Amino acid sequence: MHHLLGLEHLTAADIEHILDVGRGFVGTGEKGSPKRDDLRGKLVANLFYEPSTRTKMSFGLAARRLGADTVEFSPSGSSTAKGESFIDTARNIEAMGVDVMVVRHQSSGAPLLLQRQLPNVHIVNAGDGAHEHPTQGLLDIFTIRERKGSIAGLTVALVGDIMHSRVARSNIHGLTKLGAKVIVCGPNTLVPREIEQFGVERSSTLDDILPRCDVINLLRVQFERQRSSFFPSVGEYARLFGMTGDRLKRAKSDVLILAPGPINRGLELTPDVADGPNSAILQQVNYGLAVRMAVLKLVCG
């Protein structure tokens, strides 16, 4: 594996291998654990053209915990403001001796473009447009596997803005390959018409599917990617698709609540659910570090 652009073209065995390597990294860097040098002498560049808290910090920390050096690029304050193109920027960063580029971009396909233009750099997709966010998919699956034991046979609902969510696509590819049943649920305007082609079930009523779910992954409404209004009001959305304490009572008692973050409290889920015993939201962030260490180590061979 020299690059990670998405989960679509990985096999179930590839995904399981990444998760297994990640398992070995859980707890790395915590007090008292020895310093690692897997990536000593390597340079990892973070190119983030869209805002990020978790993903950006997690990749930076993962690289440093493996002994790599890191450099950070964000377009504001850079020569992007002077009109420098994406590829020219990337080529100049490559010239500093970069081994791995972690890229987040508003355009779907930006990481693939980099892979074609920079054949000597390992490219890792940290989220491209509404296409894929493979490490988020991997860390979601990792969290489910740790908490539920395995993936095959589970029913996992992806709820919310499926249309604009790269997290939804990576979850669908990864979870279906590993044998989960995936239900996508949201307003009809936010669920792509041909979604069943991906081997998922479709629903527009959260209350109907609630009792069947082992895992519910609540996706953020991607207001920044919506060019028009896809539902009448945020109140209406919260009433029909928000995960509330009342809905939690009607779900399986051990239902696992996930969210990639950031969350809009009170919209996709209420604070009692986000911070309650069924929620694995902060655990996802913690496991994300181990999963990203695995990805960085594997792409560097």
**Least Cβ distance, residue 32 to ligand NCD (angstroms):** 29
Footprint of ligand NCD on 132-151 (CB under 6 A)? 133, 136
**How large is the C-alpha radius of gyration of the chain?**
19
Provide the pairing of β-strand 122-128 with 181-185.
Answer: unpaired
**Minimum CB distance to ligand NCD smaller for 65 or for 169:** 169
Pick between residue 54 and residue 148 the one whose CB is nearest to ligand NCD. Answer: 54
Residue 241 CB partners (closer than 8 Å, separation 6+): 159, 160, 185, 186, 187, 206, 268
54 vs 252, which CB is nearer to ligand NCD?
A: 54
Q: Which is nearer to ligand NCD, 123 or 126 (CB)?
A: 126
Task: Work out which of 18, 151, 167, 195 binds ligand NCD, going by CB under 6 A.
Answer: 167
Rounded least distance, CB 290 to ligand NCD, Å: 16
Smallest gap from residue 213 Cβ to ligand NCD (A): 20
To the nearest whole angstrom, how small is the minimum distance from the Cβ of residue 6 to ligand NCD? 13
Whole-number Å distance between alpha carbons of 115 and 103: 11
Q: Which of 3, 23, 36, 54 binds ligand NCD (CB under 6 A)?
A: 54
| 164 within 8 A of 190, measured Cβ to Cβ | yes
Q: Report if residue 36 touches ligand NCD, rule: CB under 6 A.
A: no
Residue 168 CA to its chain's centroid (Å): 8
127: contact with ligand NCD by CB under 6 A? yes
Surface-to-core class of residue 91, CB atoms within 10 Å of its CB (0-12 exposed, 13-18 middle, 19+ buried) = middle
State residue 71 phi and psi, 5-degree precision. Answer: -130, 150
Question: Measured in whole angstroms, how far is the alpha carbon of residue 285 from the centre of its chain?
Answer: 10
- Which one, 42 or 133, has the nearer CB to ligand NCD? 133
Identified binder of ligand NCD from the candidate list 22, 39, 45, 55, rule CB under 6 A: 55
Where do runs of H (alpha helix) occur along the chain?
12-23, 54-65, 86-94, 110-117, 134-148, 166-177, 206-209, 234-241, 245-250, 271-274, 281-299
CB of 164 to ligand NCD, least distance (A): 9
**According to CB under 6 A, which one of 122, 131, 166, 173 is a site residue for ligand NCD?**
166
The residues in 202-261 that bind ligand NCD, with binding defined as CB under 6 A, are 220, 260-261
Residue written as token pair 């859980």: 26
In the complex, the residues that contact ligand NCD under the rule CB under 6 A are 54-55, 127, 133, 136, 166-167, 220, 260-261
